[in-house]
Amino acid sequence: MLGRVLAIEALQKKADKKAIEAITEALNSDAFHGVRSVAAEALKEISKDDARGALLASLDQENAKARLAVVRAVASYFHESIPAQLIALLDDEVNALIAGPAIVGLAPYHTPEVEATLLEELRSDSHSQIRSIASFTAMQKQRNPKYIAPLISRLTEAGELYESRDYGTALRVLGTLASDEEDKEEVREFISSHLSNPKDTIMTAAVSALGILNDPKAIAVLETFDVGKEENPKRKAVQKALTDLKSGQKPDANIKTLREDFLEIQKQNREMQEQFDEMKKRLDAQDEGEEGEESEDAA
């Protein structure tokens, strides 16, 4: 097995067409899932169109560990062909541990299909709510305020299904989603309602979420919040949140636009390549015709 792994690593350094084909062969035919996982990682690191295509064609791995490695490798690429493949995988994937990275892998793509999928996964029930929690992460990365109402609804109706840590993550996601909105009242009030939660993890997460929300109206709430002595971790959370709120710093809100522009450029480049290929075919055909005429004249 070690020899096969070393061979893949050597092929990865070459990263040419033949090397990619050889690695792909190992990914789809090696008897040991560990070697296939190394092959998936190699195709991820090569980061070329051929490598991406090989990974997309290899998503249907019987072994769960190998399939997980391929999904993670695919999700590392950014290309307009990827979301449809990941959504199709999610329709059939029963292993939540594999579905999770696929869901997070949808985050860079701001399309109606991705939005619908993330909302569906938000409402899903899986082992330890892994799929739903993965949708939290994807929504946070997208920073789309359309997710605010569905997320509040999910926490209100099924909040007891989540561990305190994961529920707290959802509160922070809400803070992120609403941080660039003008009207933050609904989110501020929902998060503030958890400041008296008996579970320290949720209460502290609510404090942090208010800091992320970037709503000056939350300052007064936090300043009157009694969390005990100076060394109390809750007090430190409050102090950090207050510092964040008073600094008024906002995260970059241009990521979505940049990703959409990049996809549009990819599309335009592909269309230009198709036009170039068509023009080349016509010129080649014209050259062949002229050569035929010259041959007839010479005869």
Tens digits of per-residue pLDDT, 22-64?
999 999 999 999 999 999 999 999 999 999 999 999 999 999 9
252 & 118 share domain: yes
Q: Which domain holds residue 241?
A: 108-267
Tokens, residue 206? 């609510």
> Rounded to an integer, what distance in angstroms lies between the CA atom of residue 84 and that of residue 113?
8
Q: Are residues 17 and 148 in the same domain?
A: no
Which pTM does this prediction carry?
A: 0.78
Within a domain: residue 95? no
Q: Do residues 207 and 238 make contact, with C-beta atoms less than 8 angstroms apart?
A: yes
Q: Is there a single domain that holds both residue 179 and residue 35?
A: no
Q: Spell out the residues 6+ positions from residue 254 whose beta carbon is closer than 8 angstroms to its own.
A: none
Which is it for the CA torsion 229, 232, 236, 241, positive or negative?
negative
Q: Which residue has the higher pLDDT, 154 or 221?
A: 154
- Kindly state whether residue 102 falls inside one of the protein's structural domains: no
Q: Confidence band (pLDDT; 50, 70, 90) for 253?
A: very low
Average pLDDT over residues 93-117: 97
pLDDT in tens, 273-288: 777 677 767 777 776 6
Asked if residue 155 and residue 253 are part of one domain, the reply reads yes
Residue 142 or residue 226, greater confidence: 142
Q: Given this model, what pLDDT does residue 247 score?
A: 79
Per-residue confidence band for 69, with pLDDT thresholds at 50, 70 and 90 = very high
Within a domain: residue 73? no
CATH number of residue 157's parent domain:
1.25.10.10
Whole-angstrom distance, CA of residue 270 vs CA of residue 75: 21
Q: Which DSSP string do the residues of the chain spell out, in sequence order?
A: -HHHHHHHHHHHHH-SHHHHHHHHHHHHH-SSHHHHHHHHHHHHHH--HHHHHHHHTT---SSHHHHHHHHHHHHTS--TTHHHHHHHHHHH---HHHHHHHHHTTTT---HHHHHHHHHHHT---GGGHHHHHHHHHHHHHT-GGGHHHHHHHHHHHGGGS-HHHHHHHHHHHHHHHTT-S--HHHHHHHHTTTT-SSHHHHHHHHHHHHHHT-THHHHHHHT----STT-HHHHHHHHHHHHHHHT------HHHHHHHHHHHHHHHHHHHHHHHHHHHHHHHHHHHHHHHHHHHH-
Q: Tell me if 94 is assigned to some domain.
A: no
Whether 82 maps to a domain, the answer reads no
Q: How confident is the model at residue 215 (pLDDT cuts 50, 70, 90)?
A: confident
How large is the average pLDDT for residues 1-16?
92
Assess whether 26 and 136 both reside in one domain.
Answer: no
**Could you read off the pLDDT of 190-203 as tens digits, one per residue?**
999 999 899 999 99
Higher pLDDT, 283 or 233: 283
- Residues 148 and 217 both lie in one domain: yes
- 243 in a structural domain: yes
Instruction: Say whether pLDDT at 261 is over 80.
Output: no
Residue 216 pLDDT > 70: yes
pLDDT tens-digit readout, 148-192:
999 999 999 999 999 999 999 999 999 999 999 999 999 999 999
Mean pLDDT, rounded, for 203-216: 91
| Burial state string for 254-280 with b = 16 or more CB within 10 A and e = fewer than 16 | eeeeebeeebeeeeeeeeeeeeeeeee
Q: What is the mean pLDDT of the chain?
A: 88
In the structure encoding, which two tokens stand for residue 183, read together?
């009207």
**Residue 254 pLDDT exceeds 60:** no
Number of domains in the chain: 2
Give the per-residue pLDDT at 68: 97
User: Cα dist. 107→37, 74, 77, 128, 214 in Å?
Assistant: 23, 13, 12, 21, 23
Asked if residue 77 has pLDDT above 90, the reply is: yes
The confidence band for 221, taking pLDDT boundaries of 50, 70 and 90, is confident
Q: What is the mean pLDDT of residues 226-238?
A: 66
Residue 228 pLDDT > 90: no
